[in-house]
Structure 1
Amino acid sequence: MSIESVNMQATPHRPQRRTTSGRVRLQTLLAIRWVAVAGQAGSLLFVEFVLGHELYLLPAILTVGALAVATLWPQIRRKSSARLTDRESALYFAFDMVQLSVLLGLTGGLHNPFSLLLLAPVTVSAAALSFRSTLGLTALAITCINALAFFHLPLPWPADSAFTLPPVFVLGLAIALALAAVFISIYVFKVAEESRRVADALMAAQSALDREQRISSVGALAAAAAHELGSPLGTISLIAKELTRDLAPDSPYRGDAELLLSQADRCRQILAEIAARPEESSKDHFHVLPAPLLIEVAAEPFLRPSVALRIEAVPDTGERQPPLLQRRPEIMHGLGNLLQNAIEFAKEEVRVAIAWNRAEISITISDDGSGFPPDLLARLGDPYVSASASPGKLPAKLAGRYGAGRGQAAAKAERKGDHMGLGIFIAQNLLERVGGHVQFGNNQYGGAEVRVVWPRGAVDGEAPGGQ
């Protein structure tokens, strides 16, 4: 198997767009509902029998009973471990909001301080459901708030006095709650969406690292097999030759013996081909490599005849020998992604400058391509950077190892307005796992430039137990 074919298998596919189905567990929702049933019933009984305030107890208890029935029914009919789809979760939250609004209407409307609880379903929806469901629940919350501002029974209060808020205050409270519902839904949804994107991208980074480690293990197993199988195959070949020599030319078993000998020779040829790849074996299985050689190994699968790779050593005055770097999957995969981007979009040359001193090691990768869009430099390294922000240049540049190629990635982004940047995010994340710091910029000629800096003990081969 060639290095190119191994790399194709190691390149992770871009994960599918996140779905919101199955994000809310039925058991969790039912548990919260039972808490709401107990709280509502306890509050009604406390106001009626302890505080002595008269309220419409029977309609209020029936409203709480409706919530109890709506909670008990799915608990009996469905498995508690089931996960609700986005639509089912939205319907459950909508029922909870309507039930709470009816109960508030029977107990004072917006005069009731518990009217703030109308914001709870909107908050949960923004954190766990799709934008469409959150938008619908926000609209329902605003509708319920406006209805409670004008249609409600009096707030339970002592008979010798009455508690009434000025209409202007109630109107202001309704506006405040409506604005709070809108603000919370947008703010919580944006924060949760960003968190989910980062989680998805981290999962993709871990998947890429796992594939790199599996491929390295396969190479080690192949080398071990080539070594261990040599002696048994030699014995088989020897016995097959003796059988062929001893059997008569017209023996019915002579053909089988010759076939056995030919297949044994074929196996020995295959093992010899594996053993005849010292350059691949050393690149795949040496634990530490000189920094220039490590760059060559990481860049080899992506080299193009039309682009020259120039590696320069910039040592400190007291450090002439190139540092030995640990050949860890995080470093190989991270540098591989960055080198692929540079080689793929360079015009003629990619320059890699390796500098080191007693304190740190830095690798600067620059190309003579079109460079990164200046307005998006600050966002490089974020997962799923929006391609629509800079049409034409960004999708191809950020497609990197995750894209299907420059032209395909650009066309795909232009067609779907897709989000790219996973390749760069994965590279940055993997390199930072081993103590590196990644900086993105453009060089003086307008091409892209990426600089990776490690503390000397983090990746130096002389300190393998580093960070």
Structure 2
Amino acid sequence: MTPTIATAPTRVAPPGRSLRASTRETVGQQNMLQLIELRWIAVVGQILTIAFVTLVFGIDLPLLPMAFVVAGLVVLNLFSLFRPRKHGDVRNGALMLGLTVDVAALTALLYLSGGATNPFVFLYALQVTLAAVLLEAWSTWTLVAITGLCFAALTSFYVPLNLPSGSHEQLYQLHIIGMLICFVMDAALLVVFVTRINRNLRARDARLADLRQRAAEEDHIVRMGLLASGAAHELGTPLSTLSVILGDWHHVPAFQADPELLQEIEDMQAEVKRCKTIVTGILLSAGEARGESPTVSTVAGFFDELVEDWRGTRPVRGFEYRNALEDDPAIVSDSALKQIICNVLDNALEASPAWVGFTVQSDGESLLLTVRDRGPGFAPEMLGQFGKPYQSSKGRPGGGLGLFLVVNVVRKFGGRVTARNLADAGAEVILQLPMASLAIEDSHVG
């Protein structure tokens, strides 16, 4: 099982894009596609019904005018699919116009085949049902009025059915059969349509649940960031005090006379300096560092420096770093990105102290950062909840927050994180980052 945590950016269709070429992600696009699919079903049903009535019952229908009406529905469907639309979206007016044309086509077919005496007149109910689901309230009531007027008009104005001689006594039976076919068509189309609507609603609910989860995670990150920023501010003063005291001790004659003690003081100064660097990095990530400007670097330079700093401050025994980049574009050096990559490397080092591998490569549009280790790998339950807070096998309070931050920071960059256990031994974590999110924009220059 390979979990993937990704952010799918909101895609907006550019101006002039047709429905067929659109992203089909907006509600209007989905509703129009449903209407088009149902119209194809209606066209096939109308053709089969006309052929059945003509060939089986021998009823003489005005086939040429009816063929023109059915052909008009086919043209409408093709036009709806390929017509360029402003911003690619479908508005309520377009859906209402499509349903109104459907009602007009049904009225024309009913006019040519007996008017209100035709049992298929109850297909008006299907059109009203579609309007109630797809349209705004005022549009639905407008279509109700239109269908009501059409039904009333068909009671007086229509072309009577030209029944074969001797078939008048079978008219009632024919009407019952027509009502049965009409009922089956109504029921089948409504089941298909409502099933798809429910599927869309479930998908929408799933998206909303995902957004709520992300909002909760981001709120968690904000609270953690405030806590880290506050702690960094509080730690700044005692660290500065310790640095001054250690500097004074370095010049005390008693300490200068003891080389071993002097070396320990220098080690303590180095550790205090490292703590101050970490505190500065926290404030920089929180946007609170003063007098700082974005550092311009290259992809290779950024990761070479990152690896050098990481190796110099960790007890690394076996480390394999491979830079497989063909191009080396300029980027803005981001402290948050550096911090999360070091976090992944730290986790790999903790799981596999003897060896850690780090590969940087590109597939053209994305930067792929792969971290491997030879440790025991991820537990199955951790893979299933990868990137969730407090999911850790280390058994200590606060465990799992590192990967939680990694996943969310990468998601902010528009990328994703995947993790899996290797076949032989160890684990692999891949960070995929869009190059566009790291590139230098005009606003960063000058």
Bin of the TM-score, shorter chain as denominator length: 0.3 to 0.5
TM-score when normalising by structure 2: 0.38
TM-score when normalising by structure 1: 0.36
